[in-house]
């Protein structure tokens, strides 16, 4: 006979997971804010001076570093907006954070020829943000 109550172990495991996801969602907001600010600064440096970036191998997709600078500025501003929305707990911000973090992954993947280690670090942080935002249930 079932009482409709979850088993004690599953409730504890679920609440622990939600606590981690909730805490990580707050960290995700901070990470998004930092990633957005750094993307804007990275974009400004690319627009201001093309000589600061070293390009290695030629890839199929070719953009001028000034174009990449503007792409990073726009993506950075969107990331900052999503981070501020996450701090308010808005539902739209969770969806926007996932979409914008995904765009950031694509932009940084294409940025690999100029700064490979930095791009891979930002991709990893974006994956953590997506995990945190998608697994957190604010209703629990």
Domain membership of residue 118 as a residue range? 23-49+65-135
Q: Is residue 10 predicted with pLDDT exceeding 60? A: no
Per-residue pLDDT tens over the stretch 90-129: 788 889 989 988 988 998 888 887 778 888 988 998 898 8
Q: Of 74, 122, 73, which Cα lies nearest the Cα of 101?
A: 122
Q: Check residue 102 and give its pLDDT.
A: 93
In degrees, rounded to 5, the angle at the alpha carbon of residue 128 between the alpha carbons of residues 12 and 131 is 50
CA distance 108 to 106: 5
**Count of domains forming the chain:** 1
What pLDDT score does 125 carry?
86
**Is residue 120 in a domain?**
yes
pTM score of the predicted model: 0.70
Examine residue 126 and state whether it is found in any structural domain, yes or no. Answer: yes
Question: pLDDT tens for residues 38-60?
Answer: 889 888 988 887 666 555 666 65
- Which residue, among 101, 96, 38, 39, has the nearest Cα to 68 in the 3D structure? 39
């Amino acid at each position: 006979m079932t009482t409709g109550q979850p088993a004690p172990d599953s409730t504890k495991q679920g609440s622990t997971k939600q606590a981690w996801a909730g805490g990580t969602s707050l960290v995700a907001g901070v990470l998004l804010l930092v990633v957005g600010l750094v993307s804007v600064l990275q974009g400004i440096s690319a627009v201001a001076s093309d000589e600061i970036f070293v390009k290695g191998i030629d890839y199929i997709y070719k953009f001028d570093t000034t174009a990449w600078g503007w792409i990073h500025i726009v993506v950075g501003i969107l990331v900052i907006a999503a981070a501020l929305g996450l701090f308010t707990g808005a539902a739209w911000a969770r969806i926007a954070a996932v979409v914008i973090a995904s765009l950031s992954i694509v932009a940084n993947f294409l940025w690999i020829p100029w700064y490979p280690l930095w791009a891979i670090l930002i991709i990893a942080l974006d994956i953590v943000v997506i995990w945190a935002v998608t697994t957190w249930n604010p209703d629990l």
